[in-house]
A and B are shown apart, each in its own frame.
Chain A
């Protein structure tokens, strides 16, 4: 394939480098939250910090920065990078795409500032206020337009699997976002909660998951140098995720104040989600056949496969905890925090790390600065995340059962909080390791841009193939 056009390269780099910055900022806020969880007076130095870094105010800032600054900007960059490769067509409107990147960064800054000032809609993952929502919708619609136009003008008649996932996601995201951020503005009570959770769940399922799976399908054959195992499986996977995922919102109010028919309508498709995740994993394992040894020397491949496995665990855990009985114990506990981090960090951030390491050489013309640091990034991320995840899961089960014994408010509730402090400390330690891993990542990327070994002419022509 041809080298990437200059303008397109500039756009992808803008999105990639911005997203790494937001990754570090978002995780810094996350770490502050984890420390406040153990030591509530952390950073309560003077009224200004106490107020503007108050737990309830910066928690939505953490989710916003990692979801929309890190993951979504990296995703948009990934789409702008991969779509031209798969269509053999240079990106349409690269200038517009560049402008969207700059405006997107302004959105994140504005969201952090307004959230920490206390302007919030309270709808989870949609906390930013409506003027900002409208602003982001315009940007997302613009990015979707650019992608669709590029695909429509493609020079490759075949639509590769990844492109189906990208097209689906780019249709779903704007509508999802409108339902979660704009429709909720006009309704009250439980219907508002349902619209909110429709969005809250599906932004994971029909944006972060589906674009991420498209990345897996793009990266895996390239990195393992094996053709995709089964075309049919990927077809089944795409249509089943499109059918079942949309129905999942109500399980967030499981056992809550919603009619019974709605709980069933939410849970049955949640369980059926095992089908699409299994098709992806069967495809991953099938494609890896005979190539597993490559994982030991190829860090990006290691990231993709690990990400895919975390995606599997997420989608086995999710259906389980959506059932009425497990939900009665696990809902509202720390378990959920572990679960929520798994698709977003364990699965799809890992896929993104692989994409970055794979794409950077063709964007900068330089190799990745250090393989050792890539490995450090991998191991710190995964060990940190496993500590984080297992402590939240264990603490969640303990919390849930303690509540069933009647420790639901006042001093008995407090006893549970105090007894779970060791877990909260372990969680902060896990988070610290995850964060250090990302510093290593950012440093390695920075050094690669400046001091990475230049690609030879031959490598240049194959690096994007």
Chain B
């Protein structure tokens, strides 16, 4: 038990714990921020850089308010489980996303490129009553949204299409 006599000072713990912490912050938060792929934008990022008064921008705010990101992801990985979802996501796609809507669980399907899958009328029916088009679906009904909110949300969802230059990625 002779080693115990050393632990009489708070300072080594405070300094050590802080130092190790900030090394990790530098490596996993600060360095990536300055990685050049994070600072570049591509054609997809430009599409998603909505003007503040556009329906797509307002629709994105509805998406956030209703917590769609809680059940739907927005990133496609180069793995078999994402093989039919469309072009694989790259950091440049997200340059202007604020807040990012990557998500962490697919209770519903991935929506990165949902704009390529359905049309406006389909969304109108599906958002009001998901089980009308998908019997057995567990998605909540968004019948309480105002017409304006619904149309804005649909405009946003329909805008989620890959730019032609990034197809087949």
Chain A positions within 8 Å of B, measured between CB atoms, are 36-38, 40-41, 44, 47, 50-51, 54-57, 59-60, 118-124, 148, 151-152, 157-159, 164, 167-168, 171-172, 175, 179, 183-184, 187-196, 198, 206, 231-232, 235, 239, 242-243, 245-250, 252-253, 255-259, 262, 265-266, 328-329, 331-333, 336-337, 399-400, 403-404, 406, 408-411, 413-414, 417-418, 421, 424
Which of A55, A179, A239 has the most B CB atoms < 10 Å from its CB?
Answer: A55
Chain B positions within 8 Å of A, measured between CB atoms, are 1, 3-4, 7-10, 13-14, 16-18, 20-21, 23-25, 27-29, 32-33, 35, 37-38, 45, 64-71, 73, 75, 77-85, 89-91, 93-110, 117, 130-131, 134, 136-141, 143-144
Residues of B within 8 Å of A410, CB to CB, are 109, 117
- CB distance A40 to B67 under 8 Å? no
- With A406-B84, A408-B82, A414-B134 in contact, do A328 and B35 touch (Cβ < 8 Å)? no
- CB distance A190 to B100 under 8 Å? yes
Give the complex CA separation of A362 and B130 in angstroms. 55
Give the complex CA separation of A59 and B72 in angstroms. 13
Main secondary structure of the interface of B (DSSP, over half): loop
- CB distance A190 to B99 under 8 Å? no
Main secondary structure of the interface of A (DSSP, over half): helix
- CB distance A55 to B78 under 8 Å? no
10 A–B pairs (Cβ distance < 8 Å), ordered by A: A36-B138, A120-B65, A124-B104, A187-B33, A190-B32, A192-B97, A192-B99, A232-B3, A406-B84, A413-B108
Q: How far is the CB of A424 from chain B (nearest CB, A)?
A: 8
Residues of A within 8 Å of B98, CB to CB, are 188-189, 192
- CB distance B17 to A188 under 8 Å? no
- With beta carbons under 8 angstroms apart, the residue of B14, B24, B35, B66 that contacts A171 is B14
Q: How far is the CB of A231 from chain B (nearest CB, A)?
A: 6
Give the complex CA separation of A232 and B6 in angstroms. 12
Other A-B pairs, 10, CB within 8 Å; known A123-B99, A167-B13, A194-B32: A56-B66, A188-B99, A192-B98, A192-B100, A206-B21, A231-B3, A242-B17, A328-B77, A408-B84, A417-B136
Q: How far is the CB of A221 from chain B (nearest CB, A)?
A: 14
Give the complex CA separation of A54 and B35 in angstroms. 38
- CB distance A409 to B24 under 8 Å? no
Give the complex CA separation of A322 and B87 in angstroms. 23
Give the complex CA separation of A183 and B107 in angstroms. 29
- CB distance B105 to A198 under 8 Å? no
Q: How far is the CB of B11 from chain A (nearest CB, A)?
A: 10
In the complex, residue of chain B having the shortest beta-carbon distance to the beta carbon of A161: B7
- CB distance A409 to B71 under 8 Å? no
- CB distance B83 to A408 under 8 Å? yes
- With A257-B94, A332-B73 in contact, do A118 and B65 touch (Cβ < 8 Å)? yes
Give the complex CA separation of A265 and B90 in angstroms. 18
Residues of B within 8 Å of A259, CB to CB, are 32, 35, 37, 91
Lowest 7 A-B CB distances belong to which pairs?
A56-B67, A246-B24, A118-B65, A189-B94, A409-B109, A403-B81, A332-B106
- CB distance A255 to B78 under 8 Å? yes
- CB distance A41 to B141 under 8 Å? yes
